[in-house]
Chains A and B, each alone.
Chain A
Amino acid sequence: MEVKDANSALLSNYEVFQLLTDLKEQRKESGKNKHSSGQQNLNTITYETLKYISKTPCRHQSPEIVREFLTAMKSHKLTKAEKLQLLNHRPMTAVEIQLMVEESEERLTEEQIEALLHTVTSILPAGPEAEQKKNTDDVAMDEEDPA
């Protein structure tokens, strides 16, 4: 076996989530072969990874949301890795943004960080726990419906 390119593309958590969910559907339809011992590894890793990603905000994303997010990010001049981290984690505080964006004090002013936060929280849908909290809180907040 030969590895031709160990880093050909970066994948967002949403893409992996989509891929694994589709794979699971396919295998459910084709029935009995998933119980053979050879498929056990695939079952384990699919189950665990799906469980992990389901607890992140990526669960409710869609290709349109991701596209909208990336177009909105163009004006902020961030690197690919930074945009990917923002997409995967959906930071809600300035502290989290400072972690993910390198040298954010020099590159972004306070207003830019606020604007960035606003773009992130308005375009990307909230994670499952945040939604639960929103339902129990009495404070009404505007939440954009995922497309």
Chain B
Amino acid sequence: MFVLVEMVDTVRIPPWQFERKLNDSIAEELNKKLANKVVYNVGLCICLFDITKLEDAYVFPGDGASHTKVHFRYVVFHPFLDEILIGKIKGCSPEGVHVSLGFFDDILIPPESLQQPAKFDEAEQVWVWEYETEEGAHDLYMDTGEEIRFRVVDESFVDTSPTGPSSAEATSSSEELPKKEAPYTLMVGSISEPGLGLLSWWTSS
């Protein structure tokens, strides 16, 4: 689930923090910059693991702060392909089932990946697995808050950095709300394999 990523960055320490130990200031700045943020094509950054190398700190003319080039390792959430994870169902919509891991929310199970046959119950806004047995069809509901085991099959990184002003005429009165895209989404593969799906379906009572 978690990987260690080696990165290099220049950290700026303002003069009023010079009394603190350099390592502490740098650790704090790095966490301030990266914790809980998604780095493009890398993953969701959790926290600093360690600092491997500190190069010389320079003070540039016009700026009293010191600039230090730091080599460090960061703990990043980046599940590998086909990894099995357990999460909680956040909700259902016609797009599929939304699953959350607490610290990471953008996991989607598209309808094609659900156990077949599955249908969307409009009244209760929930996906249902119609499980056929000899006695008849059992309807297994995918309720919110239920724990679910799934396999990661695809991930997509979207670059959400702001774009420059477009050349088209600015319509300041009717501004379109910029579409909020999640910078990092996990697409889940079929949960139709034996063992996948709601945990309650597989635990022997």
A residues bordering B, Cβ < 8 Å? 1-13, 15-16, 19-20, 23, 33, 38-39, 41-42, 44-46, 48-49, 51-52, 56, 81, 85, 88-89, 93, 95-96, 98-100, 102
B145: interface (CB < 8 Å): no
Are the C-beta atoms of B32 and A41 separated by less than 8 Å? yes
Are the C-beta atoms of B47 and A96 separated by less than 8 Å? no
- Whole-angstrom CA separation of A141 from B183 in the bound complex: 47
Are the C-beta atoms of A5 and B6 separated by less than 8 Å? yes
- Residue from the list B28, B75, B86, B194 in contact with A33, Cβ < 8 A: B28
Are the C-beta atoms of A52 and B101 separated by less than 8 Å? yes
- Whole-angstrom CA separation of A46 from B45 in the bound complex: 11
Are the C-beta atoms of B47 and A95 separated by less than 8 Å? no
Among listed B33-41, B107-115, B127-135, B161-169, interface-contacting one: B33-41
Chain B residues positioned under 8 Å from A15 (CB to CB):
2
- Whole-angstrom CA separation of A56 from B49 in the bound complex: 22
B residues bordering A, Cβ < 8 Å? 1-9, 28, 31-32, 35-37, 39, 41-42, 46-47, 49, 71, 73, 75-78, 80, 82-84, 86, 101-103, 149, 151, 193-196, 202, 204
B109 to chain A, nearest CB (A): 16
Give 8 A-B contacts (CB < 8 Å), ordered by A residue. Answer: A4-B7, A6-B76, A7-B5, A38-B28, A39-B31, A41-B32, A49-B46, A93-B202
- Whole-angstrom CA separation of A6 from B44 in the bound complex: 12
Are the C-beta atoms of B47 and A13 separated by less than 8 Å? no
The listed residue with most A CB atoms (<10 A of its CB), out of B47, B82, B204, is B47
A47 to chain B, nearest CB (A): 8
Chain B residues positioned under 8 Å from A51 (CB to CB):
102-103
With A3-B5, A8-B4, A9-B3: A38-B101 Cβ-Cβ less than 8 Å: no
Are the C-beta atoms of B75 and A19 separated by less than 8 Å? yes
Are the C-beta atoms of B46 and A99 separated by less than 8 Å? no
B151 to chain A, nearest CB (A): 7
- Residue from the list A9, A23, A49, A85 in contact with B84, Cβ < 8 A: A85
- Whole-angstrom CA separation of A120 from B10 in the bound complex: 44
Are the C-beta atoms of B75 and A1 separated by less than 8 Å? no
Are the C-beta atoms of B8 and A9 separated by less than 8 Å? no
Are the C-beta atoms of A8 and B5 separated by less than 8 Å? yes
- Whole-angstrom CA separation of A9 from B101 in the bound complex: 22
- Whole-angstrom CA separation of A4 from B9 in the bound complex: 10
Chain A residues positioned under 8 Å from B151 (CB to CB):
99
B54 to chain A, nearest CB (A): 15
A10 to chain B, nearest CB (A): 6
Q: Which 8 A-B pairs give the minimum distances between C-beta atoms?
A: A48-B103, A45-B36, A41-B36, A42-B35, A95-B195, A9-B4, A38-B32, A11-B2
- Whole-angstrom CA separation of A41 from B35 in the bound complex: 6
Are the C-beta atoms of A11 and B3 separated by less than 8 Å? yes
Q: List 15 additional A-B contacts (Cβ < 8 Å) besides A6-B42, A38-B32.
A: A2-B9, A3-B7, A3-B42, A4-B7, A6-B3, A6-B5, A7-B3, A8-B5, A10-B80, A11-B1, A11-B2, A46-B46, A46-B47, A49-B103, A81-B83
